[in-house]
Amino acid sequence: MTATAAESDLDFEETPDLDEVLWQAWLALELPEGYRAEIIEGFIEVSPTGRWSHSLVANRLRRALDRFLADSGYAGYQDANVIHGKKVSIPDVMVAAEDVVATDPAGLGAAAEAVLLVAEVVPPGYDDRKRDRVRKRRAYARAGVPVYVVIDDYDGEGHVTVLTTPNPKKATYEAEVRMPYGTPVTIPEGPAKGFVIDTAITGEPRTAE
């Protein structure tokens, strides 16, 4: 479900007035339990929390990251606000300093500059899939988040994509590795460098329908 002041997500260009209107609307939202709201490319996007299978994968990823990052000064977090200007994303998992505090001026979440990795577990709905694959990919690149991981049950029999080298001006990631479930994928940089995503996190490849 979306509330928007702009209709197209192609060649999107924000305006200060739109940013402020959406920010104030987001601050005023009172959502029922089980829903969350993000500001992505001129939209306030309201979505339910993921189904149980989605939560299982996100939890496996966060716990594995915590084990990998033990004694490094970094940790995995789930369902925390990441704020870039007056835009808000809520990744399924993120990596930041272990002692990170609410670093945006309003104290509502972590500033994007403090976030070293974000990960999304793609949900089944068409618009939900497009959000994680397209709109959030651009949003995280604009924010300069160094590593974006996409765990996608609905890409063929399941794929993991690791995006690095963000270009904020172009809203793109310059480097991409995409591997099917069953082929381990290694994080190439940042505090999680060397962390492997495999079937212990994703589950086995999906059966082709």
Count how many domains the chain has. 1
What pLDDT is stored for residue 14 in this prediction? 56
CA distance 114 to 75: 12
What pLDDT is stored for residue 8 in this prediction? 42
- Asked if residue 22 is part of any domain, the answer here is no
pLDDT at 81 over 80: yes
Mean residue pLDDT of the chain comes to: 90
Cβ proximity of 81 and 109 under 8 Å: yes
- Asked if residue 12 is part of any domain, the answer here is no
State the amino acid at position 43 in one-letter form. Answer: F
**180-192 pLDDT tens trace:** 999 999 999 999 9
- Asked if residue 16 is part of any domain, the answer here is no
| Greater model confidence, 16 or 30 | 30
- Asked if residue 121 is part of any domain, the answer here is yes
CA distance 30 to 203: 35
- Asked if residue 103 is part of any domain, the answer here is yes
- Asked if residue 67 is part of any domain, the answer here is yes
- Asked if residue 79 is part of any domain, the answer here is yes
What pLDDT is stored for residue 13 in this prediction? 54
pTM of the model: 0.88
Percentage of the chain beyond pLDDT 90 is 75
CA distance 18 to 118: 26
CA-CA-CA-CA torsion sign (131, 132, 137, 140): positive
Give the range of the structural domain holding residue 126, as residue numbers without chain letter. Answer: 51-202
- Asked if residue 106 is part of any domain, the answer here is yes
Task: Give me the CATH number covering residue 59.
Answer: 3.90.1570.10
Write out the two tokens for 137. 């990919």
**pLDDT band of 71, cuts 50, 70, 90:** very high
